[in-house]
Amino acid sequence: MPNTTSDPEAMLDICLTDAEFPALPNFQRGKVRDSYDLPDGRRVMVATDRQSAFDIVLAAVPYKGQVLNETARFWFEKTADICPNHVVDYPDPNVAVARRLDMLPIEMVVRDYLTGSTETSIWPMYERGERVMYGHAFPDKMVRNQKLPDTILTPTTKADAGGHDAPITAAEIVERNLLSQPVWDELAELSLAVFARGREIAASNGLILVDTKYEFGFDESGRITLADEVHTPDSSRYWLAESYEARMAVSENPESLDKEFLRLWISERCDPYNEPIPEIPADTLMAFSGKYVTLFEKVTGQEFEKPSSDRSVRERVRANLAKSFPEYFT
């Protein structure tokens, strides 16, 4: 099953779209990650190549799962001095093993720019005429993709399966007893600090970290712990810094290295919340794959190692899981 072919259709055929292995217990399927809750409190998370946008799984993108897992690893390691994270091992390029946490019911979204295309993004809300969003007041006459005066937090609730995240303010979070004031204050401080570290490292590599989202939980000792993923192209927007000002001057969208590329492709062709999303061509998905790989290399300074051609990604993942968890693969 070679991975060097230039045929987009053939490349899509090698994507990891299913990581269900009956040997492991308590299987759960997310939009992108397949996971297993082990009896000893660990969670095994396999990042697949499934691509979601607008809360819908749309297609598969070659190498995407590996890029997500290895980019998250880079950032977890770069921010561990700011906030502990849940990862304990990486037995495979697509797999992370983590401590199971008591997850908090809020996603912490941090923004530096007036941008976005989803219902909870501040640009669509601003374009509709809203001037107070997430408890923040915005002046008139701002333009899309403009830098904000200050970094802001725009938290959302976590949607149930099939639902959409919803905007919420810091005051509402405390009023509804979703979080206590001290916990909110700590989450806000940690989120801004992790984002500042990401912005600094991204800038040193010619990138703008535009915005991102974080998920946190309590570990067994009650410590707030960073979970899920951090600063990946699925959870964050990245722009190329060198062309940002020139493109803004002619009202063009910045060059992006994240899934906003796919969101914009879809939004130009339909209303993704009210109309069927068209099938995404193979060459568009391959272009998207290239953006993910480029982002990984620019952020980390490492060369991306594509999977070996001697076996499928699924076979490799299974073999590495069997090495790490032999008690289940007998």
Would you say the pTM of this structure is higher than 0.75? yes
In angstroms, rounded to a whole number, what is the distance separating the alpha carbons of residues 81 and 260? Answer: 30
The C-alpha torsion from 121 through 125 and 130 to 131, rounded to 10°, is: 30
Highest-scoring range by mean pLDDT, 172-176, 233-237, 273-277: 172-176
What is the predicted pLDDT for the residue at 2? 35
Residue 32 has pLDDT above 80, yes or no: yes
Looking at residues 311-318, what average pLDDT do you find?
93
pLDDT for residue 28? 97
Distance between CA atoms of residues 64 and 32, nearest Å: 10
State yes or no: pLDDT of 9 exceeds 80. no
pLDDT digits (tens, 9 = 90+) for 88-114: 999 999 999 999 999 999 999 999 999
- Taking Cα atoms as reference points, which of 35, 61, 117 lies closest to residue 295? 61
Tell me the average pLDDT of the chain.
92
**Structural domains of the chain, with CATH:** 8-102+264-324 (3.30.200.20), 103-261 (3.30.470.20)
Which among 155, 279, 288, 153 is positioned nearest to 234, based on CA atoms?
288
What is the predicted pLDDT for the residue at 194? 98
Strand pairing category for 42-47 and 95-99: antiparallel
Tell me the per-residue pLDDT of 122-173, one tens digit each, with 9 for 90 and over: 999 999 999 999 999 999 999 999 999 999 999 999 876 556 688 999 999 9
- State the greatest distance between any 2 C-alpha atoms of the chain, in Å, as a whole number: 65
The pLDDT score that the predictor gives to residue 100 is: 95
pLDDT for the residue numbered 258 = 81
With a CB cutoff of 8 Å and minimum separation 6, the contacts of 244 are: 208, 254, 255
Q: How confident is the model at residue 3 (pLDDT cuts 50, 70, 90)?
A: very low
Res 297 pLDDT > 90:
yes
